[in-house]
Amino acid sequence: MTTQNNFWQHNRTVLIFALIALTMPFWFPLMGGYSGLDTKIMIFCIFVVGFDILLGFTGYLSFGHAAFFGISAYVTGIMLKSFSDNIIPAILVAVLAATLVAVIIGLLTLKRTGIYFSILTLAFAEMFDSMAMSMLQKWTGGENGLTGMPTPMLFNLKMQGDTVFYFVTFMAILLFYLAKRIERSPVGLMMKAIKCNQTRLEFTGINARKYKLLAFVISAVYAAIAGALMVVYEPFVGHEFLGWHQSGEIVIMSVIGGVGTLVGPMLGAGFMLYFENVLSVNLGEQWLLVLGAIFMAVVIFMPGGFMEGIARLKKRYFTTVDGE
Amino acid sequence: MDMTLNAFTLSILTGLQLGSIYVLIALGLTLIFGTLGVVNFAHGALYLIAIYLAVSINNALGFGLALILVPPILFIIGVLLERGLIQRFYDRPHTDQILVTFGLAIVIQELLKWAFGANNIPFSIPSWGNGIIFMHDYLPFLEGFVVYPKWRMILVVVAIVTVSAVFALLHLTRFGLVIRAGMRDAEMLQFLGVNINRRFMVVFGLGAMIAGIAGVFGGPVTQVSPEVGMQLLVPSFLIVVIGGMGSLGGAVLASILIGMAQSFTAPYIYINTIIIYLITVIILLVRPRGLLGAKGVFE
């Protein structure tokens, strides 16, 4: 097999994703998506791909990833406001800050598994939410949110409209590529081994905590990048960025799409935001009810999400005698 | 901290009252978790059903009927939920249970929002529960004039009675004996020929019924709006975890602890908003199983 073939095989999904993502401004409006929503979908693609490295690979269900998203968004906003309107230092500092918090929270919460982990992460996120609303009000703007940021700049380039979309999409493709690389790497294998059987992994003499923490921090970095880009996309930060609603939304996206597949959660993100912003016009106030019902149906009947559905369809219609 | 005896007493009372609502939610949660092993994210939504039912019946037919009707209705709803949905998830991973009940919570919350609107519905307290209690009449060590809302004291009494009833049921009856055995080792119990399945159904109904009692008496205090369910669920979950998953005594202890902590930090707003999370984190780091969590229960 030539090297070229290998490259194509490894990166087929990434290239297809890049193609679909980059052409989005052309086909997305045809199905009723307004401009700007495509950018938001790309931002959440980043968020859920990172989240899947934690939930999909290691099996740890965090109910508090909004913390990293929100902290990063606040820091980005404050940096843009008081340091420079250039987004590069703002994003760097924001991601660094969120990563630091993630290391601390990860060290504390990863001592526990299952429901304890879910609740501990939820508790930390809610704590930050409460802090943003009370003792940090001076910096976060409290109930009103953080506003009054200048137009974000990429050096001399104004970050508006299509520029933001292509910047975000570039980041999304890059980060998806990195996630795919992690999945194939020995580190990714270790993370998946944690989900399969952590005890057995530890018996082989491997320090599982290291890999758990790594998965946690990587997913937090993805969340932080998404949070920072959210402020570049729309210069506003509200405390709902930190709330459990936000964490829950990410969980729903991942599960609807198909946990552990990287592509699935992105499908879920696209579906949910499209549903929330476009289809909801027809459903009115009850869109969340319908979404909740869809979510439940997926968990009950199709635990693998959309990806399982696609796989089932493929099996039914494209299977030849020799199973190819 | 210089605090007068009066202020101290009032803080204790407020702590008890806060803890009372928490314990009524947490008791059902921990009962369901301990026996069925199911993490019920929809428990706040059950409370939500209870307060909406209670306020509707109360405003139309009076409080007495609400008190008689709501807990049994919730029991039936709980049983139906267990048979129709939860039962399918006993063999699935805990994450799936969290997800499906989380979805259920959204559906119930949105259905109620659709039916009743997003705004708070006033819940009028019956005349016998209205007004205030002159605490200084009962507690001679208080100086001067100390009053407390009567309804909140009734809530505390209701919580004490409910908790005692649940403990009596579990420790003094044959049914309770089986349930406690099931909490320890459900598989062994099945080997002995006990139909644990039917009892699981009853336990889930019981948990829902306690949420029903909480709704009837807690509704006027927590308000009646669609967000209340989740607002209460998060602290109640933390309480269950602090107390030790599946430990009823732990849930009671943790409810009082959190109620007191919130009450006594009330003057210090910055600490007050995060105290519950701080306590959770500290306790879980020092005692990973929670205050009274038994060894081997959902490790």
Domains and CATH numbers, chain A: 26-318 (1.10.3470)
Contacts 24+ apart (CB under 8 A), B144-148: B144/B6, B146/B6, B146/B9, B146/B10, B148/B10, B148/B13
Residue B248 maps to a domain: yes
In tens, the pLDDT along B8-32 reads 888 999 999 999 999 999 999 988 8
Residue B243 maps to a domain: yes
Residue A286 to residue B39, Cβ atoms within 8 A? no
In tens, the pLDDT along B93-108 reads 877 888 899 999 999 9
Contacts of B278 in chain A (CB under 8 A): 127
Residue B242 maps to a domain: yes
Confidence band (pLDDT; 50, 70, 90) for B294?
A: low
In tens, the pLDDT along B162-198 reads 999 999 998 899 988 888 887 777 778 888 888 888 8
| Nearest residue of chain A to residue B273 (CA atoms) | A130
**Closest to A80 in 3D by CA, of A152, A168, A138, A167:** A152
Residue B155 maps to a domain: yes
pLDDT of B141: 79
Q: How many residue pairs from chains A and B have C-beta atoms closer than 8 A?
A: 103
Asked whether residue B63 carries a pLDDT value surpassing 50, the answer given is yes
Name the 3-class secondary structure at A158: strand
Contacts of B255 (CB under 8 A, 6+ apart): B19, B20, B22, B23, B26, B239, B243
Contacts of B273 (CB under 8 A, 6+ apart): A130, A131, A133, A134, A135
Min Cα separation A288/chain B (Å): 7
Average pLDDT over residues B218-231: 88
Residue A134 to residue B284, Cβ atoms within 8 A? no
Residue B88 to residue A288, Cβ atoms within 8 A? no
pLDDT of B99: 87
Q: Contact B240/B22 with Cβ under 8 angstroms?
A: no
Residue B238 maps to a domain: yes
Min Cα separation B145/chain A (Å): 33
Residue A296 to residue B104, Cβ atoms within 8 A? yes
How far, in Å, CA of B30 to CA of B32, rounded? 5
Residue B141 maps to a domain: yes
Residue B215's domain comprises 23-286
pLDDT of A2: 55
Residue A248 to residue B98, Cβ atoms within 8 A? no
Query: B268 touching A, CB under 8 A?
Result: no
Residue B104 to residue A127, Cβ atoms within 8 A? no
Say which of A112, A130, A286 has its CB closest to residue B288. Answer: A112
Q: Which positions 194-253 of B are in contact with A (Cβ < 8 Å)?
A: 230, 234, 237-238, 241, 245
* A interface residues, B as partner, C-beta within 8 Å: 59, 61, 108, 111-116, 118-120, 122-124, 126-127, 130-131, 133-135, 244, 248, 251-252, 255, 285-286, 288-289, 291-293, 295-296, 299-300, 303
Whether complex ipTM tops 0.90: no
Mutate to test the interface with A, among B81, B87, B95 (most CBs of A within 10 A): B95
Residue B14 maps to a domain: no
Q: Contact A51/A250 with Cβ under 8 angstroms?
A: yes
> pTM for this one?
0.88
Q: Which positions 156-195 of B are in contact with A (Cβ < 8 Å)?
A: none
Structure tokens at B178: 């089986």
Name the 3-class secondary structure at A86: strand
Buried (b) or exposed (e) across B137-176, using 16+ Cβ within 10 A?
eeeeebeeebebbebbbbbbebbeebbeebeeebeeeeee
Looking at the structure of chain B, the number of domains it has is: 1
In tens, the pLDDT along A15-74 reads 999 999 998 888 888 888 787 899 999 999 999 999 999 999 999 999 999 999 999 999
Structure tokens at A208: 């599982």
Residue B241 to residue A119, Cβ atoms within 8 A? yes
Residue B4 maps to a domain: no
Min Cα separation B258/chain A (Å): 14
pLDDT in single tens digits along all 324 residues of chain A: 456 677 777 788 899 999 999 988 888 888 887 878 999 999 999 999 999 999 999 999 999 999 999 999 999 999 998 888 888 999 999 999 999 999 999 998 888 877 788 888 988 998 898 888 888 888 888 788 888 888 888 887 888 878 899 999 999 999 999 999 999 999 999 999 998 888 888 888 888 899 999 999 999 999 999 999 999 998 889 888 988 889 999 999 999 999 999 999 999 999 999 988 888 888 777 888 998 999 999 999 988 899 999 999 888 887 665 544
Query: B94 touching A, CB under 8 A?
Result: yes
Residue A288 to residue B273, Cβ atoms within 8 A? no
Residue A300 to residue B270, Cβ atoms within 8 A? no
Query: B139 touching A, CB under 8 A?
Result: no
DSSP track, chain B: ----HHHHHHHHHHHHHHHHHHHHHHHHHHHHHHHH----TTHHHHHHHHHHHHHHHHHHH-HHHHHHHHHHHHHHHHHHHHHHTGGGGTTS-HHHHHHHHHHHHHHHHHHHHHHH-SSPPP-PPPGGG-SEEEHHHH-TTS-S--EEEHHHHHHHHHHHHHHHHHHHHHHHSHHHHHHHHHHH-HHHHHHTT--HHHHHHHHHHHHHHHHHHHHHHHHHHH-SSTTHHHHHHHHHHHHHHHH-TT-HHHHHHHHHHHHHHHHHTTTSHHHHHHHHHHHHHHHHHHSTT-SSPPTTS--
Query: B127 touching A, CB under 8 A?
Result: no
Contacts of A119 in chain B (CB under 8 A): 237-238, 241, 280
Contacts of B115 in chain A (CB under 8 A): none
Query: B85 touching A, CB under 8 A?
Result: yes
Contacts of B281 in chain A (CB under 8 A): 108, 120, 123-124, 127
Min Cα separation A147/chain B (Å): 23
